Amino acid sequence: MFVLKLILRNAGRHKLRTALTVFGLTIAVLAYGLLHTVVDAWYAGAAAASNARLVTRNAISLVFPLPLAYESRIRGVDGVTLVARSNWFGGTYRDPKNFFAQFAVSDNYLDLYPEFIVSPQARSDYERDRKGCLIGRQLATQFGFKVGDVIPLKGTIYPGTWDFVVRGIMEGRDESTITRQMIFHYDYLNETIRKTTKRQVDQVGVYIVGIDNSDQAASVSRNIDNVFKNSLAETLTETEQAFQLGFVAMSNQIIAAIRVVSYVVILIIMAVMANAMAMSARERIVEYATLKALGFGSTFLSVLVFGESLAICAIGGGLGMLLTPPAAEFFKQATGNVFPVFKVSHDTMLLQAACAFVVALAAAIVPAVQASRVRIVEGLRAIG
């Protein structure tokens, strides 16, 4: 108890310096947590993807579609339980800046996505209305969409203005489920473009494939691709998670840069903390010599230095961790829901605590060694 009181009094002796150091630690830990949360948000789509679903696309590129006739052949592959169609629509809502995902899908699409919760009445209304659509909860909240609203989309891939009627809201199974998308009938899209752009008729962007055993995903993927080997439109089949990670990989350099910046922030505050502890140690040479003269050993002096460093980092790191969740929520609102899932994870909080602990230890090593090596005669000679 005596040691703890001495540590806390030492930490608060130079109030301005301690306050500025704590403030710097708070900002550093907060910045580290936010940057780490941005990286987690980038991978949120891939993390939520399922290994029990496969995605079959054109082997050359997503730009090139697949024939509608492939559906029945994929369904005939052993291990496949369900096949759904999905086309990227790419329309804009009122303003090109209002970007959100829109997919033209087959009616069995929702059977493959149990994480999307739709009431039986809403699904029935949607299936009966050719122009009907379902809107994710996050998207409905962002734009204020309600059931019965008409959403006009200006086509980019498919020219013209398309009107869709909201027939239901898709809720997420949990907070990690991204519900920032809109789905509508593939048949409506296909029938409409048949009248205008016949070269785009009966083509599918990707097939979503349900399998009965996720452990067999690799073999089922190979079997599907073998069916269309040497055809005019060869396929590439992979798990939905691998498919999503392919998009994330396009921005790997950005993610790597964010990670580097997060660690640079910690290194900078480590240097600041080390400087503060070094100054404290130099100011207390006489005190360390006096304590040694009274019989206290080098270990006791090292405990005082490490204890002071840990106390300051605990306060600064703790404040940074407490401020991270509200700061993340503010950041999410300020960015206009750019990240559908932006939540501080437990792993991020643990990493923040670990960083604060490492900073405390690293900053105290040199001052602790100096304190333990103080000679009584030289220390007392420094008086005056």
Confidence of residue 45 (pLDDT cuts 50, 70, 90): low
Q: Which of 356, 311, 348 is nearest to 327 (CA)?
A: 348
Distance CA 75, CA 52 (A): 15
The half-sphere exposure of 49 on its side-chain side, counting CA atoms within 13 A, is: 20
Task: Tell me the pLDDT tens digit for each residue of 195-229.
Answer: 877 777 889 999 999 998 888 889 999 999 999 99
- How far is the C-alpha of 18 from the C-alpha of 22, rounded, in Å? 6
Q: What is the mean pLDDT of residues 82-90?
A: 93
What pLDDT, on the 0 to 100 scale, is given for residue 70? Answer: 94
Higher pLDDT, 227 or 295: 227
% residues pLDDT > 70 (the chain): 91
Burial string for 289-316 (b: 16+ CB within 10 Å, else e) reads bbbbeeeeeeebbbbbbbbbbbbbbbbb
Q: What confidence score (pLDDT) does residue 380 get?
A: 65
Output the pLDDT for position 21. Answer: 87
How do the domains of the chain map onto residue ranges? 2-44+252-381, 60-233
Chain segment 136-180, per-residue pLDDT in tens:
998 998 889 999 999 999 988 888 889 999 999 999 888 778 888
Query: Hunting for tokens 């396009």 — which residue is that?
Result: 250
pLDDT tens figures, 326-364:
988 888 777 666 666 778 888 889 999 999 999 888 888
Under DSSP, is residue 239 helix (H, G, I), strand (E, B) or coil? strand
Would you tell me how many other CB atoms lie within 10 Å of the CB of residue 197? 13
pLDDT of residue 162: 92
Token couple for 213: 């055993």
